Amino acid sequence: MSKLVYLVPLFPLAGFLINGLLRKKLSKSVIGIIGCGTVLASFIVSLLIFTEVRKEGFQPVLVNLFDFIHVGALQISFAFQVDQLSSLFLLIITGVGFLIHLYSTSYMHDEENEHYARYFSYLNLFVFSMLILVLGANFVILFIGWEGVGLCSYLLIGFWFKNIDYSTAAKKAFIMNRIGDFGFLIAIFWMISKFGSVEFTEVFAKSSSTSVAVLTGITLLLFVGATGKSAQIPLYTWLPDAMAGPTPVSALIHAATMVTAGVYMVARSNIMYTLSPITQTVVAIVGLATATFAATIALKQNDIKKVLAYSTVSQLGYMFLGLGVGAYTGAVFHVMTHAFFKALLFLGAGSIIHALHEQDIRKMGGMKKLMPITHITFLLACFAIAGIPPFSGFFSKDEILAAAYEKNPVYYIVGVLTALMTAVYMFRLYATTFLGKFRGTEEQKHHVHESPSAITIPLIILAILAVVAGFIGIPEVFANDSHWLQHFLSPIFAASEKAHPTPVAAKSTEWMLMAVSVIAAAIGVIYAWARFSKKPELGEPQGFGKILANKWYVDEFYDTIIVKPLNAFANFLNEVVEKSIIDWLVNGVGRTVQYSSRQIRLLQSGQVGGYILLMVISLVILFLVEIFVKK
């Protein structure tokens, strides 16, 4: 079945072409069936591939579709690699992607027919690009998918392009991603120069005999690309603004797919990072700083989608912390659990927005009774992201924190404080939205009702996954060989484990670390629930809280030191260099030609005597030249 892996991206590509080209002719029901059906077909094929891959002793399969680039000794194939890591990501992308497509059939139903088709064609193209990214057998094919999801994020974030703010947010996402992609591209050129190849198998095999300095340079450049795509400091500010897109887009881009591309790329390149301790330290510090920084901002946001956006940035920071301390399985595990509970949170928020047409949590409240299914699924997701056992987030987050402790106890302490803040801001969001009295208008309250089944069914499925998914990664402290995911992914990370074995903590230490993180999360949950359920106004920013509410003024800082100077420089180039120098030179050439032609034209007087005189002068000059040349 793995030989037919090309069908997985082919189905969404077909959906993109059909809905895109026939958008004016198809009905909404047909558009929805094509959009959802193609992704469902990809999920079914992915599931069949996964059942083959999970068999004991499975060896990676390379499916070479055609030769893509052949220049001299460099040969790059358009090839897919099927192994444990890619097959797991295929399930996440197509599974969660299908639920979001299904959800969208109801959420976007009020759009005009043509825009409805355009939306689904963009979604299908996004899934296609993400599948190319995770299936690529070399860095160039990965980069093609990488750029594809960047393009699709621009199209989807700016879907309502008539709104200038939304278009600006889309441009911001596109430009900030290009900054990171520049680093990625240089890393690819460096690999071609050093290894003579970009194939994963060749590059990783040659890494062990490459100098640490070269590996550090390449991995740092790759990480620059990851900071852009996965919204890490300093390139994270695009992601909260990306909330301008439709809510299902936020769930697709910011939960299961695009923002985890950087995590996938680092996990795929794990041996290179393991052999470069400097880069690993940078990744861990940047990830931890991002997790903490974003969590502080989320504490004081009042837009329901902005809270979830900064939560995504923070959780991505956790993933990079895991990568930086060598907990590659833990990072991938958190990618999976995060895909479930964060998609659920975004879709739950979309269900509320769909009912209220409101995003400010200060104007909500009392939604528990009005929208019971949305309420219970949202609550389960909050428990999962807060790291409360036995929900999925507890298992994946605990694995990262335990590895962080082994690497550096400071990492663990800061990580636990971030977990505490996560519990506080998520249950502030929950309590303010669902508990207490309804604070909207009477008209809103009259029209509020539970969302239709196309919205609630994906919520229920994701809620089940958010609850049970953690059990595929039960810590070894509970029982031997209980961590199924670690065993499944061991062939991918075997080289890293061999190069630098992960230290195993004593069981008593593991229990202590687990207890501390759970107690911290529980304190955050109880505090936020008690404080904001009856008095949501206590969450209003005051004093230092205003700095957090204004996102530490990072956007303003970037605007002052980067945007305004660049605009001023561009204005200087336009007004001075362009108009005063370049225009003067170009116009000067034109004026010179015109003047010369006017003067030369005078020679064409029509007087025979003048022509004879010129002919005589010319003959005399020729004779003189002839005489002097001979001498």
Angle at 452 between CA 358 and CA 20, to 5 degrees: 85
Alpha-carbon distances of 191 from 74, 201, 215, 381, 530, rounded to whole Å: 11, 13, 9, 41, 55
Instruction: Give the pLDDT score at 370.
Output: 87
Q: 392 and 470 in contact (C-beta within 8 Å)?
A: yes
> What is the end-to-end Cα distance of the chain in Å, rounded?
89
Contact 290, 235 (CB under 8 A): no
Cis peptide before 12 (omega within 30 of 0): no
**CA dist., res. 366 & res. 438, Å (int):** 5
3-state secondary structure of 371: coil
Distance CA 473, CA 484 (A): 6
Mean model confidence pLDDT for the chain: 90
Domain extent listing, the chain: 1-137, 138-549, 559-630
Residue that wins the pLDDT comparison between 62 and 542: 62
Q: Higher model confidence: residue 328 or residue 537?
A: 328
Q: Give the per-residue pLDDT at 631.
A: 55
Segment holding 626, helix H or strand E: helix 608-630
pLDDT at 533: 82
Neighbour count for residue 519 (Cβ, 10 Å): 12
Is pTM beyond 0.75? Reply is yes
| pLDDT number for residue 543 | 80
Query: Alpha-carbon distance 326 to 284, whole Å?
Result: 9
Contacting residues for 71 by C-beta, under 8 A, at least 6 apart: none
Q: What are the backbone dihedrals phi and psi of residue 476, each rounded to the nearest 5 degrees, phi first?
A: -65, -20
Q: What pLDDT does residue 599 have?
A: 81
Mean pLDDT of 473-479: 81
Residue-wise pLDDT tens digits, 148-178: 999 999 999 999 888 898 999 999 999 999 9
Residue with structure tokens 């690309």?
225
What band does 103 get if pLDDT is binned at 50, 70 and 90?
A: very high
- Comparing 161 with 499, which gets the higher pLDDT? 161
What does the pLDDT read at residue 539?
64
What is the Cα–Cα distance from 253 to 265, expressed in whole angstroms? 16
Which of 465, 471, 256 lies closest to 380, judged by CA?
465
pLDDT over 80 (residue 445): no
Report which DSSP code applies to 479. S
- Residue 615 is predicted with a pLDDT of 86
Position 296 scores a pLDDT of 95
pLDDT in tens, 264-305: 999 999 999 999 999 999 999 999 999 999 999 999 999 999
Question: What is the pLDDT averaged over residues 212-220?
Answer: 95
Helices (H), 474-607: 484-499, 507-532, 544-549, 554-558, 564-572, 583-601
With a cut of 80, say whether residue 1 has pLDDT above it. Answer: no
SS3 at position 69: strand
pLDDT > 70: percent of the chain: 98
pLDDT score at 503: 66
| pLDDT tops 80 at residue 541 | no
pLDDT at 565 > cutoff 90: yes
Q: What is the mean pLDDT of residues 237-257?
A: 84
Distances (CA, A) of 378 to 269, 348, 384, 534: 35, 6, 10, 19
Determine the pLDDT at residue 35: 94
Please calculate the CA angle 388-390-392 and round it to the nearest 5 degrees: 80
Mean pLDDT of 34-60: 93
CB of 292 closer than 8 Å to CB of 346: no
- Residue 343, judged by CB atoms within 10 A of its CB (0-12, 13-18, 19+), counts as buried
Kindly calculate the radius of gyration of the chain based on its CA atoms and give it in whole angstroms: 30
User: Over the stretch 352-380, which tens digit does the pLDDT of each residue have?
Assistant: 998 888 888 888 888 888 899 999 999 99
User: b/e per residue, 262-301, with b = 16+ CB within 10 A?
Assistant: bbbbbbbbbbbbbbbeebbebbbbbbbbbbbbbbbbbbbb
Residue 479 in this model has a pLDDT that exceeds 80: no
Largest CA distance in the chain: 116
Check pLDDT > 80 for residue 537: no
- How are the residues of the chain apportioned to helix, strand and coil, as percentages rounded to the nearest 5? 80, 5, 20
Q: Residues of the chain with pLDDT > 90: what percent?
A: 65
Contact yes or no for 156/123 (Cβ under 8 A): yes
Highest-pLDDT range among 106-120, 186-200, 428-442: 186-200
Amino acid letter at 61?
V
DSSP, residue by residue, 123-177: HHHHHHHHHHHHHBSBHHHHHHHHHHHHHHHHHHHTSSTTSHHHHHHHHHHHHHH
Examine the pLDDT at 497 and tell me if it is beyond 80: yes
State the burial class of residue 179 (Cβ atoms within 10 Å of its Cβ: 0-12, 13-18, 19+). middle
| 630 has a pLDDT exceeding 70 | no
Q: What would the two tokens of residue 102 be?
A: 């299904």
Q: Is residue 538 scored above 90 in pLDDT? A: no
Q: What is the pLDDT of residue 535?
A: 76
In sequence order, the β-bridge partners of residue 66 are 78
* Least confidently predicted of 118-132, 173-187, 276-290, 607-621: 607-621
pLDDT computed for residue 417 by the predictor = 95
Looking at residue 575, its pLDDT comes to 87
**Average pLDDT rounded to a whole number, residues 530-539:** 77
8/91 Cα distance (integer angstroms)? 10
